[in-house]
Amino acid sequence: MKIRLLDTEGKSLGHVDVVDHLFNAPSNNALVHQVVVAQQANARQGTVGTKNRAAVAGGGRKPWRQKGTGRARQGSIRSPQWKGGGVVFGPTPRSYRQNTPKRMKNTALRSSISSKVRDGDLIVIDKLIVEEAKTKNIANILKSLKVHGSTLLVADGSDPAIFKAARNLDGVKLIPSFKLNSLDLLLKHKVIMTLEAVRNAEKIWGTPFERKKDSLGEPIIDEDIN
């Protein structure tokens, strides 16, 4: 398929051919949801924790005798109903990690970026070069491209100083192509990619998966899925 190519001033430079396997993949919302949920779960630290009555200090002595005081029987001042006592059913440190096969993540990425193409939210520019790496210059480029709000910049081939200039813009995130993921594509309304980033992404995700075969032409089932 073909995608329109623009310069940093928003002028059309024609069209470029892109790989259909990456930029015209079928939608799979269920898979994208599963991969995004797993990615968000893997970002959780899972270090929150509370102390139960066994972990709280003190409370070894019975507060008062069992009978004869007229008060309710108590075994420890660190029981949950006491101030400073242990917490019942509180959170404990745990791992939220979900292991997602690489092929599932790659398929979800293709579905996400193809949806951006179909919705007209993917902009391809020839290169991202400014005379001086300042935030206002990056903002002027976005204004020329008529891009407002949340934006994902995939700027391979750009000066590293541009990354520092772009991070001051509210709602703008700048990443290299090899860090593309379904979550960032889903969170950002517009995606701007340099032509070099498009070519690099095609090298990583643009080739259909083919299972390796043995000398007899039979698929090798025990190989790791990539």
Query: What does the pLDDT look like over 14-45, one tens digit per residue?
Result: 999 999 999 999 999 999 999 999 999 999 99
Query: What does the pLDDT look like over 115-149, one tens digit per residue?
Result: 999 999 999 999 888 888 888 988 999 999 999 88
| 222 domain-assigned | no
| Statement to judge: residues 104 and 194 lie in one domain | yes
DSSP letters spanning 113-172? HHHHHHTT-EEEES----SS--HHHHHHHHHHTT--SSEEEE-TTS-HHHHHHHTTSTTE
Encoding tokens for residue 157? 């081939």
| 216 domain-assigned | no
Please give the pLDDT value at position 102.
93
| Statement to judge: residues 186 and 112 lie in one domain | yes
Q: What length is written for the chain? A: 226
Please give the pLDDT value at position 221.
65
| Statement to judge: residues 163 and 82 lie in one domain | no
> What total of structural domains would you count in the chain?
2
| Statement to judge: residues 119 and 152 lie in one domain | yes
Question: Does position 226 have pLDDT exceeding 60, yes or no?
Answer: no
| Statement to judge: residues 105 and 84 lie in one domain | no
CATH of the domain at 166: 3.40.1370.10
Query: What does the pLDDT look like over 51-103, one tens digit per residue?
Result: 999 899 988 889 999 999 999 999 999 999 999 899 999 999 999 999 999 99
Distance CA 77, CA 85 (A): 7
Please give the pLDDT value at position 215.
72
Distance CA 44, CA 67 (A): 49
Domain that holds residue 118: 2-28+100-205
Question: Does position 165 have pLDDT exceeding 80, yes or no?
Answer: yes
Question: Does position 225 have pLDDT exceeding 50, yes or no?
Answer: no
Q: What's the pTM?
A: 0.80
| 177 domain-assigned | yes
Whether residue 41 contacts residue 96, with contact meaning beta carbons closer than 8 Å, is answered with: yes
